[in-house]
Structure 1
Amino acid sequence: MPAKTATRPSILVSETDADRLFLLIEQRQGPADCSGLRAELERAQVRPDHLVPASVVGMNSTVDFLDEAHGATRTVQLVYPGQADIAAGRVSVLSPVGAGLIGLKAGQSIQWPDRDGRLRALRVLKVSRGQVV
């Protein structure tokens, strides 16, 4: 479940990512695990792929972010569920962190619930865009 709208910054999502992610949500049996991602996509500004800056988190992006509550910096790659491997740093877009990061740009922060429902402040430090596959 996403945090209150007041704590969520504006986000950009490419048309390709939006199309693929809405299709992924439609194909999932249980809507509960998609609610955070669905809410983010519904509020996102969707733009043609070439108009989304490289500093914006999209699918296959590698993201350095700061968990402001713990002061810990993490580097993850945002991937589709079948490619997720937390040990390898590949985080599913359906995970709480993955859904919270999509569409943010370097420098933006968001209050986002973790798996236990506690709000965490995440701040994007750096984004490296991956290949669209």
Structure 2
Amino acid sequence: MSKPAAIYLTELDLTRLENAAVRAGNSSALAELVDDLIARANVVPGNKIPADVVTMNSVVRVVDDAGAEQEWTLVYPEEANVSSAKLSVLSPMGAALLGARAGKSVKYSSPNGAQHSLRIERVAFQPEASGQHTL
């Protein structure tokens, strides 16, 4: 099995993800997900993150397996709302997108075990690239 690709995380996103995992309590699946993200992360200050990296609160345009384009905002679990295109970072799809770069494809497993891939077409908005790296 191949090793998952390295990702970028800002220092602030790392801290907030750790806090989200603590708030979630005893969810071992959630803790494993956060641990996996952290293990693969190149952690950098918010003002040093490349502008084409998906960070928290980024708006990202993706193309799914079927060729359908979607636009999502990557948010913390308490802000998630699929009907508003706000995707939880702790969902399988959200975790796959976090830290990945535009032009790359990511893979994830849905809750029913089905395998999916998404190509990141572009990062339409990234808070850090807009100078919002110290919220």
TM-score range, shorter chain: 0.7 to 0.9
- Residue in 2 that maps onto 1:48: 45
- Residue in 1 that maps onto 2:29: 32
Say if 1:62 and 1:78, in contact at 8 Å, map to a contact too. Answer: yes
- In 1, the alpha carbon distance for the partners of 2:43 and 2:113 equals 28
In the alignment, structure 1 segments of 5+ residues that lack a partner are none
Q: How many residue pairs were aligned?
A: 128
Query: Of the candidates 66, 71, 89, which is equivalent to residue 70 of structure 1?
Result: 66
- In 2, the alpha carbon distance for the partners of 1:12 and 1:86 equals 24
- In 1, the alpha carbon distance for the partners of 2:47 and 2:41 equals 16
Say if 2:80 and 2:88, in contact at 8 Å, map to a contact too. Answer: yes
* Deviation beyond 6 Å, 4+ runs, structure 1: none
After TM superposition, give the deviation of residue 5 of structure 1 in Å.
4.1
Amino acid in structure 1 at the alignment position of 2:36: A
Q: Deviations over 1:60-105 (max 9, x none)?
A: 00010111x2111110000011111100000111111111100001
- Residue in 1 that maps onto 2:109: 113
Aligned-pair identity in percent equals 34
TM-score (normalizing by structure 1)? 0.87
Query: Of the candidates 1, 13, 16, which is equivalent to residue 17 of structure 1?
Result: 13
- Residue in 1 that maps onto 2:88: 92
Amino acid in structure 2 at the alignment position of 1:124: I
Deviates more, 1:102-111 or 1:19-28: 19-28
- Residue in 2 that maps onto 1:124: 120
Q: 1:75 to 1:34 in 2, by over 3 A?
A: farther
3-state SS of 2:51 partner: coil
Deviates more, 1:112-121 or 1:32-41: 32-41
Q: 1:79 to 1:50 in 2, by over 3 A?
A: same
